[in-house]
Amino acid sequence: MVKQKMVAAAALLAGVFLQCAAAEERALLTDPVKDVEIVTTPAADLSAVWSPGADGVIAVAGKPSGFIATRTSYTNYRLHVEWRWTGKPGNSGVLLHIASGPKDKVWPLSQQVQTKIGNVGDLLPMAGAGFDQPLTTAPGAYPPIKARTAADSEKPAGEWNSMDVTCRDGVIDVVINGVAQNHVSGARPASGPIGFQLEGAPYALRNLRIQTL
């Protein structure tokens, strides 16, 4: 009986340890070159588009059109991203739950959190993706958008912005610079790699962190 209790206690402690380990926040990219892949049209070399610096800041050229994606897939997690425009502000976004399947030009099946100047925090279901909440754009409008729900919380051009996204069982919550900006449930797809769009404007990334849930 004592032995059984000791085994049970050890199993319980092991479970707690694993839960704690899983909950630790960590860098999204252990190696910012080897841990990502590039998809662009026309094809481009990663080094021409994605330039990690010794200070931890990644310079992103913004073109050609496409995206940089993690090689790892994620389902339930909290994601922290910081970005700023390094030239003329423009258009970009963070892609969640990238999946194989239909594409919209170069854009993959995914959920996009918009970082476009003036529209930060909007959610776009890409290439046939979806969620339960209604869009704020008219039926059939392109691109389909669920606009942010609070006043613009983006910082002035050139300053660092922060994005915190929580994804859990198909629910996506988006916070921009500490302000809750969007919420959806029933996200389809609900898991996949994380990506960073290239839509013409150069920008920088830093403090890419993830916490599995």
Query: Is residue 169 in a domain?
Result: yes
What pLDDT is attached to residue 7? 43
C-alpha dist (Å) from residue 173 to 16, 52, 62, 96, 107:
27, 28, 26, 12, 22
Query: Is residue 93 in a domain?
Result: yes
C-alpha dist (Å) from residue 82 to 66, 132, 160, 205, 208:
20, 28, 6, 6, 7
Which tokens go with 32? Answer: 């910012």
Could you tell me the residue range of the domain that residue 71 belongs to?
26-212
What pLDDT is attached to residue 23? 74
The pTM of this model reads 0.89
Pairing of strands 36-41, 50-52: unpaired
Q: pLDDT for 34-60, tens place per residue?
A: 999 999 999 999 999 999 999 999 999
Q: Are 9 and 198 in contact (CB under 8 A)?
A: no
- Nearest Cα to 38, choosing from 16, 11, 10, 71? 71
Which tokens go with 148? Answer: 């942010």
* Total domain count, the chain: 1
CATH code at 73?
2.60.120.560
